[in-house]
A and B are shown apart, each in its own frame.
Chain A
Amino acid sequence: MEPLRPGRMSVPGITEPKDLIVRARAGDTQAWGDLYREYAPAIFRFCRRAMPTREDAEDATMEIFMKLRDKLSQYDPSRSFTAWLYKVAANHCWDLLRRRRARHDKDMEDVEELPLETPEPNQLEKLIEERSSDEVRKALSTLGARARMALVMRYYSDMSYDEIADALGVRRPFVGVVLLRARHELRQALEGRGVLVAGGTQ
């Protein structure tokens, strides 16, 4: 079987372990174990990016797989398993963050009220060129919960705007704005200017 890729596992050309999924759905614990081993690293990394601490990410990963095992019978085999898996993971992480006041009113107010200044293209290019992946990850961890969650859903797990809207509980046309705001927050963090929104759980 071709090795699965975390994040964009649903891109064309990457095959999903259909056989494992079918056997796991039928109650084969060995198949479930194999399925877990295939997907656990990707889901852990998803949680690691989305959740504030490593401990939270570990707990969330465990909980997501417990949830998945219970919901496996509800999975529609005609659809992408990876997409379904990320949907469950995103919903779970967002639920956790929301419960910790991440989905705070202030978060929404900030997003809706603060003006967005279009960046100078050359400056933006320069900023992107100079920053390493490590710096981006660190900056990401300083963002508000919703901004972080939106970026992770879009750029890690390749979720569609509809799926993001569904997970975050926002209107579909608003997703682009959320993502753009998140990018602005990220740029500010990369420039060392702090972030606009303090809605995270840091």
Chain B
Amino acid sequence: MSEQDTTRHCDELTLMMYVERQLDREAAQEVSLHTQTCTRCLTLLRALDRESRLLTRSMLEQDEPLPARLAEFHEQAKRSMRWIWGIFFGLAALGVYAFYTEYIAGFQSQLEQAGFGSSNLLSLMVFQGAFYKGWLSMFTLVEFVALASVAALGVFAIRKYLRRGTALAVMFASLGLFAAFVTPAPASAAEFRKNDTVTVGKEETVKGDLYAMGDHVRIEGTVDGDLFGFGEQVEISGHVTGDLICFCQSLRISGQIDGNLRSMANNITLTGTIDRSATTFTELLTIEPNGKIGRNLTSFTKSLTLDGNLGRDLLTMIGKGTINGTIGGSLNAKGENLTINSSASIGGPAKFEGDNPANVSSEAKLASPLAYTKMEHKSHQRGPSFSVWTIIWAAAYVLFGLVLLSLLPSFSREASSNVENVGASFGLGVLVLFAVPIAAVIACVTVVGLFVGLATLFLWYGALYFAQIIVGATVGQWILGRVSDTWALIGRMVVGIILLRVAMAVPFLGIWIKFAVIVWGMGALSLAVYRRMQPTIAPNIPPVPLPGPTSPLPSNTTVGS
């Protein structure tokens, strides 16, 4: 081969299109002829051909396995779980119903009658209850919210560079580090005791926190730290230098608690002293004449009897309350009946919002007259304003959904597709709807978990609305057709939300529709979160064989010698 006519080399585009078989026959023949005599163009042609092969080979190589979340089309994966979830849902529903009728219904009725809303409850627990440990805690809360916001922004900013698992790991690690820095280190190691009867003898001193679990827990000696008591009967006749956190049927305190009391019990009797504040969820709370609480008492109880001494404020929701003792600060009560007897003394303002006017003895010593407000129960009558509010609420949902779908388009789509997996969504929805708030409230009872618990409650509360939006988006897609584009999805969400709100406005049936929608959507959201937390690598996907190299050149063309 000799080099001829080198002044008329083929340009690179022509050679590339020849390699790509994109030239017409005449042009291809010209190139073919030219490259038989021009070494330079032939070399370039071969180089371009090899470049094409390198590109194809590089792209076809299986360098990453299929992620686990893509291993199955969603509906396939869901379908296989449907029976399991169905059975699970049935059992869970039965359990929830039994639990509700046995334990919650009565208490809920009392709550509704007393008119306590959820916002009141939170503000009460955080700012006025025994959880409020002064301004330092307040600063910590603000600090936590600020840091959490910064962390969330940071994760949001770099989310594209993090794998989902990594992002979650970073988040949890950050929370762990934060908790490690913020929460004070315990003075000494905790001690665990579990038996039918757990006793700390009179002469015995437990250094550090004590976790006591048994049918009977008796503390006659000293616990130099916090005491966590779980049992049928807990009796404290000794001395606890820290807080007492107790879940039991019956709690009797005749000793000394230097810190706070936080308890959920059937009945509590106090004849001893609590130096700081008390928060109780109980059926019967009795503070005997010798009983004393140094600071505030926050109580949710069916029957409260205060014969002893309370240093500061009393905030309570009661079925029936009787005050015979002393309240150093204010009284703020909601409930059915309140009696203030002649021996009672209240140092601050007194308010009672109830079904019946309080029975106040004229001999009782009150700093100011008791302010009584008749409790107003929600009217179920529906007038024109009801329709207006239905429209306003529907608009608010649409706006909320618009924001969420714009901010989290991919997640929203996943959640929306999960809605169609009815069994799994309902099963998980029931679990999340009931288990999460219970877990969050339990977390709130412990000092360390308070912030996590409150954050979880807020998230859960937000998810109640998000759930309806997700179901609305799916309903919209059923009617107007499935889409993957975010704005089209928003349009369908609007239609779905309007229809759902109309359905929810139906008397009697509407509330059940709303409940079903919330459970359903909550489950779909939880499934989406669960799937995102799954590992991303699917180890069992077999490699796909690569095709053998094929010549891109026309079969009837001769290239080179």
Contact = CB atoms under 8 A, between A and B. Distances in A.
Given A37-B72, A128-B47, A176-B20, A58 B67 contact: yes
Nearest to B66: A41
Contact of A161 (B12, B22, B71, B73): B22
Contact of A134 (B40, B52, B63, B67): B63
Interface in A93-143: 116, 118-119, 121-122, 124-125, 128-129, 131, 133-134, 136-137, 140
Interface string B524-535: 000000000000
A5 interface: yes
Contacts of B72: 33, 36-37
A54 B56 CA distance: 20
Interface stretch (A77-85, A149-157, A192-200): A149-157
B320 interface: no
A31 B67 CA distance: 21
- Residue from A36, A121, A136 whose CB has the most chain B CB atoms within 10 Å: A121
A156 B60 contact: yes
Contact of B70 (A3, A62, A154, A180): A62
Contacts of B546: 5
B484 A133 contact: no
B163 A55 contact: yes
B69 A58 contact: yes
Contacts of B17: 176
B56 A66 contact: no
A186 B48 CA distance: 13
B188 interface: no
Given A67-B484, A133-B58, A176-B20, A7 B76 contact: no
Interface string A31-75: 011001100111011001100111110110111011101100000
A119 B546 CA distance: 30
Contacts of B484: 63, 66-67, 92
A11 interface: yes
Interface residues of A, number: 62
Contacts of B52: 155
Contacts of B57: 133
Interface string B48-63: 1011101111111111
B70 A70 contact: no
B102 interface: no
Contacts of A49: 59
A48 B64 contact: yes
Given A7-B59, A63-B484, A121 B44 contact: yes
B164 interface: yes
A87 interface: no
B54 A66 contact: no
| B: interface residue count bin | 35 or more
Given A29-B79, A33-B73, A3 B545 contact: yes
Contacts of A180: 12-13, 16
B17 to A, nearest CB: 5
Nearest to A182: B55
- Residue from B47, B159, B160 whose CB has the most chain A CB atoms within 10 Å: B47
A44 B70 contact: yes
Given A5-B546, A63-B484, A116-B12, A131 B54 contact: yes
A145 interface: no
Contacts, number: 156
B170 to A, nearest CB: 15
Nearest to A40: B70
Interface string B120-143: 000000000000000000000000
B482 A66 contact: yes
A11 B548 CA distance: 11
Contacts of B550: 8, 11
B69 A66 contact: no
A133 B541 CA distance: 22
B191 interface: no
A55 B60 contact: no
Contacts of A179: 16, 20
A44 B67 contact: yes
A40 to B, nearest CB: 6
B54 A136 contact: yes
B491 to A, nearest CB: 16
Nearest to B543: A41
A6 interface: yes
Given A70-B482, A176-B17, A137 B60 contact: no
A55 B160 contact: yes
- Residue from A56, A61, A128 whose CB has the most chain B CB atoms within 10 Å: A128
B11 A118 contact: yes
B410 interface: yes
26 contacts: A3-B544, A6-B60, A7-B56, A7-B547, A33-B72, A33-B76, A36-B76, A40-B70, A41-B544, A44-B67, A44-B70, A53-B161, A54-B64, A55-B159, A65-B73, A70-B482, A119-B12, A119-B47, A121-B44, A125-B43, A125-B47, A131-B54, A137-B58, A137-B63, A161-B20, A183-B51
